[in-house]
Chain A
Amino acid sequence: MSTIIIGLSLGMLLFLLASGLTLIFGMLGVINFAHGALYMLGAYLSFDIAHRTGSFALGVIVATVVVGLAGIAMERFALRPLYNRPHFYQLVLTFGFILVLTEAVKLFWGLGYKEAPMPALLSGSVDMFGSTIPVYRLFVIGFGAAAAIGLFAALERSTFGMLVRAASSDSEMVQTLGLPASTIRTAVFGFGAGLAGLAGAIAAPLFPIELGMGTNTIIDCFIVVILGGLGNIRGVVAAALLIGMVRAIGYTFMPSWVDVLTFAMLIATLLTRPQGLFSRPVRSA
């Protein structure tokens, strides 16, 4: 049972991170390589605020907002002039952002490991089904589930979601109708970046905070997005839970084969269902 709970918590952390990446790709067609670096920035900001103020919640809020604002600035001043150019330019630009963000983090916080304190309310562990489960893992599962529901509601039920979907399917028509398509695109990028910052802040008490943390995690994140189907939010939820479970089962029964199992699943998917396990052949957002 503990394996299932650990798998769910890993899956939900992956979902928080991958949802922003797939949202940006689905709505804007941009593959944001810097998503992992934004996740790292969120973790550092959350650690810093939590240490200064003693408030974990404030750290989460500040990390989400600041990283979201950084995303807005990235889209407005760097990505927007490149939309009409080949995708290659976007890839190079977002890769460049990784270097810039890494250097900025190094400048502010140095190279050493940092430790985000576990919030008192969520620290400790509980005995469940014969295992000891950290309370924070249960919080991550609940928070991830709430975030998934909120994201669906925002995209499927709200006016903003309707505008976003319209701008992603026919940006010129939206512009012709007098709606601010460019602003919507900027908002989507900022929202996606904010989700990366949020994921970093939520993950911070669980893992060491270090410069390489984004690079390590972004590979899993891309696997989730590919398995779920590029741009497919529902697919990301399912794929994140699937990868979380595969990893948890792998860590429990064959730790040295975890990466092999994960990559084997990715290769099998690309060979048999290149559109992703949870997408139809035509891409949907």
Chain B
Amino acid sequence: MKSHIQATSYRLAAGVGLATALAFSGNAFGADPEVFKIGGVVSLSGTYGVFGDDMRKGVELAIEQRGGKVLGKPIQVAWEDDETKPQPAVQKTTRLIADGAQMIFGAVSSASSIAIMNIAKQRKIPHLVTMSADDKITLPGASRYTFRTSNTLGMEQRMALAYSKDQKLKRVYGVTADYQATRDSWEWYRKEAEKAGIEIVGADFPPLGNRDFSSIADKIARSNADGIALFMTGSDSITMVKQAGQVGLGKTRKIFGPVIADETMAAGVGPTSVGVNSGVRYHFTVDNAANKKFVEAYRKKYNEFPSSAAGEAFDGMAWWLDVVEKTGSWDREKWVEAFAGSVRENSLEGRKEMNACDHQARQDGLWGEVVAGKAPQPAYVMKIAKLYPPKEIFEDCKQ
């Protein structure tokens, strides 16, 4: 009899325990949590280390501008450094979700973002990408939970091809970081360029994080190329452009790439960056009221002009939080449904429209050239040379 009472007590205790645990788990992700937790996974070190800090600044300003709250609760962001590697990105995302993150923001590199995307999909956590450009992130039906508000490599490579045609380039030498997204991008460019009658006179695939491009610069100097297409970014593109400048390649050939230059990268290259052409994600000179307000606030807070990484991060997070606010709900599925198909009329870069079928924001494409800046601008700035409407740089989204 005693043992029967004991067993009943244990079952009762276990039942109460389970009920309590369920109640708490419901409280953590359900009706009314104490805070809105965002897990930010960005690169603060490694090849793309410089971008992560700017993304953090953009996100923090977006939160500050709405009084630090969404759905009446304070927003709390926990930042983690993925060291520009997918493995730390996975570990840190998993930990952030375990700590109660209700959405994940990041990362910088596409490899990290794809790794995060898979975890977010499994755990049904909304995931916002504002920097990684790999087209695979927003393939139709890729993930219900991942959204990208910034450029794709596809739209940037289309702008690079359009530039090659506009400049009437006849022979192009390609240098591509040995990385899946950039290799895919180069392969697309190569095929389309050849179709357009542009001869590819050479191609090299140095490893990501390569430290010396002087041999490649020498090979290009000895080729008859009139254009140099660089499919790389971050410190890779800085080193390549800098060392190309040391043998005067920029004076005799057009140097361009989907994403090889912005103010941050031009600052690392110096004078030889002038004349380099590149796709631009966001730019502080875009002429609209939302952007003017943002640039003013950013300069006031950080005493500098916002970089592409900062502008895209601000824009994406502000858009996401506005959508969450409009749902009036703590149900994450409702946030996802509302974001898919939403429209941002007052984006920093003009109108942006979220595709419901691939969760990619359709937007204008900006193409720019590095020129000397005028005070108080940075020493080198991107001058927006051309604007491509979405219909010219996006394919129709088909499920």
User: Considering the chains assembled together, what is the distance between the CA atoms of A195 and B265 in angstroms?
Assistant: 29
Confirm or deny: A159 has a beta carbon within 8 angstroms of a beta carbon on chain B: no
Q: How far is the CA of A45 from the CA of B268 in the complex (A)?
A: 15
A137 to B215 Cα, complex, angstroms: 12
Q: Which residues of A contact B50 (CB under 8 A)?
A: 111-113, 210
**Which among A2, A112, A117 is the interface contact of B267 at CB below 8 angstroms?**
A112
* Residue pair A136, B246 in contact (C-beta under 8 Å): yes
Taking CB atoms and an 8 Å cut-off, the chain A residues in 238-285 that contact chain B are: 247-248, 251-252, 255-256, 258-259
B392 interfacial by beta-carbon distance below 8 Å: no
With a CB–CB cut-off of 8 A, which chain B residues contact A259? 207
How near does chain B come to A168, taking the closest CB pair, in angstroms?
32
Q: Tell whether A113 pairs with B268 under 8 Å between CB atoms, given A125-B248, A136-B246, A210-B49.
A: yes
- Contact of B269 with A by CB under 8 A: yes
Q: Which residue of B lies closest to A249 (CB)?
A: B215
Beta-carbon contacts under 8 Å, B241-296 to A: 242-243, 246-248, 264-265, 267-270
**Interface assignment of B222: CB less than 8 Å from any CB of chain A:** yes
Residues from chain B with a CB closer than 8 A to the CB of A114 are 267-268
Q: Do A125 and B211 touch across chains, with their CB atoms under 8 A apart?
A: no
How far, in Å, is B241 (CB) from chain A's closest CB?
10
**Given A131-B218, A132-B248, also A10-B212 (CB < 8 A):** yes
**A118 beta carbon closer than 8 Å to chain B:** yes
Is residue B161 within 8 Å, beta carbon to beta carbon, of the partner chain? no
Supposing A112-B264, A125-B246, A125-B247 touch, asked if A6 and B214 sit within 8 A by C-beta, the answer is yes
Complex: how many Å from CA A65 to CA B265? 30
B238 shortest CB reach to chain A, Å: 4
Q: Once bound together, how far apart are the Cα atoms of A216 and B95, in whole Å?
A: 28
Within 8 Å by CB of B218, from A2, A111, A112, A118, lies A2
- Are A217 and B206 in contact, CB atoms less than 8 angstroms apart? no
Minimum distance in angstroms from B250 CB to a CB of chain A: 12
- Check: A72 CB closer than 8 A to any chain B CB: no
Q: Are A256 and B242 interface neighbours, CB within 8 A?
A: no
A residues less than 8 Å from B248 (CB atoms):
125, 132
| CB-CB nearest in chain B for A209 | B268
Whether A54 sits at the interface, judged by CB under 8 Å, is no
Of A130, A208, A212, A251, which contacts B45 at CB under 8 A? A212
Q: Give B354-388 as 1s and 0s: 1 = Cβ < 8 Å from A's Cβ atoms.
A: 00000000000000000000000000000000000
Question: A115 in the interface, Cβ–Cβ < 8 Å?
Answer: yes
A217 touches B211 (CB 8 A): yes
Closest Cβ of chain A to B391, distance in Å, is 35
- At the interface, yes or no: B235 with Cβ under 8 Å from chain A? yes
What residues of chain B lie closer than 8 Å to A6, measured between beta carbons?
212, 214-215, 218
CB of B209 within 8 Å of the partner chain: yes
A-B contact count (CB 8 A): 111
Q: How large is the interface on B (under 10, 10 to 19, 20 to 34, 35 or more residues)?
A: 35 or more
Chain B, residues 229-244, CB within 8 Å of chain A (1/0): the string is: 0000001001100110
User: Using Cβ atoms and an 8 Å threshold, which residues of chain A touch B115?
Assistant: none
Is there a chain B Cβ closer than 8 Å to A3's Cβ? Answer: yes
The reply to whether the CB of B330 lies closer than 8 angstroms to some CB of chain A is no
Q: Are B219 and A216 in contact (CB under 8 A)?
A: no
For window 26-47 of B, CB contacts with A under 8 Å fall at 44-47
CA of A95 to CA of B145, assembled, Å = 39
Q: Which of B44, B206, B222, B247 has a CB less than 8 Å from the CB of A251?
A: B206
Known: A207-B239, A258-B206. A111 touches B53 (CB 8 A): yes
B235: contacting residue among A115, A210, A217, A248, CB under 8 A: A210
Query: Is A134 an interface residue when CB atoms closer than 8 A count as contact?
Result: yes
Q: Given A112-B264, A210-B50 in contact, is the A252-B212 Cβ separation under 8 Å?
A: no
Q: Does A141 contact B (CB under 8 A)?
A: no
- Contact flags (1/0) for B95-115 with A, using CB distance below 8 Å? 000000000000000000000
With A111-B53, A256-B205 in contact, do A216 and B211 touch (Cβ < 8 Å)? yes
Interface flag for A211 (CB, 8 Å): yes
Q: What mask results when residues 1 to 19 of chain A are scored 1 for a CB within 8 Å of chain B, else 0? A: 0110010011000000000
| B265 partner residues in chain A, CB cutoff 8 A | 113
Closest to A216 in B: B211
With an 8 A cutoff between CB atoms, is B213 at the interface? Answer: yes
B207 proximity list for chain A (CB < 8 A): 255-256, 258-259
Is there a chain B Cβ closer than 8 Å to A206's Cβ? yes
- Least Cβ distance of A163 to chain B in Å? 37
From B45, B178, B211, B270, residue with most partner A Cβ within 10 Å = B211
B200 CB–A CB distance under 8 Å: no
Q: Are B264 and A256 in contact (CB-based, < 8 A)? A: no
Least CB distance, A96 to chain B, in whole angstroms = 16
Distance of A125 Cα from B235 Cα, bound (Å): 23
Q: Contact between A113 and B235 (Cβ–Cβ < 8 Å)? A: yes
- Contact of B169 with A by CB under 8 A: no
Which 4 A-B residue pairs are closest in the complex by CB-CB distance? A113-B268, A251-B215, A115-B270, A208-B268
Q: Known contacts A113-B238, A207-B211; can you find 9 more A-B pairs with CB under 8 A?
A: A6-B214, A115-B270, A118-B246, A134-B247, A137-B246, A251-B212, A251-B213, A252-B215, A258-B210
Q: Which residues of B contact A (CB under 8 A)?
A: 44-47, 49-50, 53, 178, 204-207, 209-216, 218-219, 221-222, 235, 238-239, 242-243, 246-248, 264-265, 267-270
6 A-B contacts (beta carbon < 8 Å): A113-B268, A115-B267, A208-B239, A248-B214, A252-B215, A252-B216
